[in-house]
Homo-oligomer: A and B are copies of this chain.
């Protein structure tokens, strides 16, 4: 029953089901959970930095006191008090002109993304997304049978000129993008942040081209250096739908995220969410509510920042000390990820088995593109391992890359004698370092 040809249901699936494939991250799951492997692959937050005893006590007391609500069905839109508190969280990134009525609580912001795909995307629709993009967003767009057009980034984030080019080319073909999907802060996987100036430029283009922007911001409060830049949503209530999450500021195991959207869209989102899950988990929502109101949650965010800053530093220091000269990487000012570009001729996906053999894991770059780019790229996550493990992981990875370069030198020597050609898919990919 396992092979496709033996699947007795093969002739029953919907069109959209035939395109479903496991993501690069999921394919790694079994491998990276082996304890001897240093995993720089997954994006798991450092939840052990939470005071688990006091969180446990808080939750126990909550269920004793409010169990009739915490264990019951709730509103499809989400708990009203939690939606009020979410306004205060968004205010930290400059979003002030919102009412709780415009907030929909979701089962993690992934569900928010999926709901937006569901209400906006017909098969064949065009979505603009950074190059590279969050793999979970690409999966959702793929499930909706949309066509993703990637917009290059550099160290200052999405490149507005490239966005303008894509928009005018679409317009010339009589097409319109349903929306631009962007992660402006501490991008997953690229690690870069959209600059202040470019935020204005992106929104000016949105205005000029009647473009809807989906701003996905799970990491915004996890900056190491400066106060967060005002969100895109803080600058435009009309053109921006905002996705937030408690997965990185509190805990992903609760699956509590949200969408902030204009009323008309909010209505559709609630109906779509009710069809999907009836309502988000009441227990999770009340746990977040209680945590925000009774615990020093923002002090804990500062603890997380320090944890991740130390890990980011360990990553960058180890990369600088250990990587061969032609390897380049981004320098994140927050969040979880460093994006690495290998020297020309190397293939991060092909290298993966050797890396796992050397007991280090990463995510190959191709998973973050809808169009086969990213061969030379890989994502390192520094959020979960401690600094010593990170250094050891980077050391192992450097060794693997060095061996690949030796192989390449041998191979290129042989090839040069026979005439060198550039392999398919070996594009430099964007303007990221």
Contacts and interface: CB of A to CB of B under 8 A. Distances in A.
Given A9-B212, A277-B255, A60 B56 contact: yes
Grouping DSSP codes into helix (H, G, I), strand (E, B) and loop, the A interface class, with mixed when no group exceeds half, is helix
A284 B286 CA distance: 12
Interface in A266-302: 268, 271-272, 274-284, 287
Contacts of A50: 67, 71
A37 B26 CA distance: 49
A118 B14 contact: yes
Interface string A76-110: 10000000000000000000000000000001101
Contact of A60 (B60, B68, B262, B272): B60
Interface in A137-157: 139-140, 142-144
Contact of A57 (B55, B64, B111): B64
A277 B60 contact: no
Interface size class of A (residues with CB under 8 A): 35 or more
Interface in A1-57: 1-2, 4, 6-10, 12-17, 20-23, 26, 29, 42, 44-45, 47-48, 50, 52-53, 55-57
Most chain B CB within 10 A, of A47, A59, A247, is at A59
Interface of A: 1-2, 4, 6-10, 12-17, 20-23, 26, 29, 42, 44-45, 47-48, 50, 52-53, 55-65, 67-76, 107-108, 110-111, 114, 118-122, 125, 136, 139-140, 142-144, 178-179, 212, 238, 247, 251-255, 262-265, 268, 271-272, 274-284, 287
20 contacts: A1-B264, A2-B263, A12-B179, A14-B119, A14-B122, A17-B118, A20-B272, A47-B68, A52-B67, A55-B71, A56-B59, A56-B67, A59-B60, A60-B60, A72-B252, A110-B278, A136-B278, A140-B275, A142-B275, A255-B277
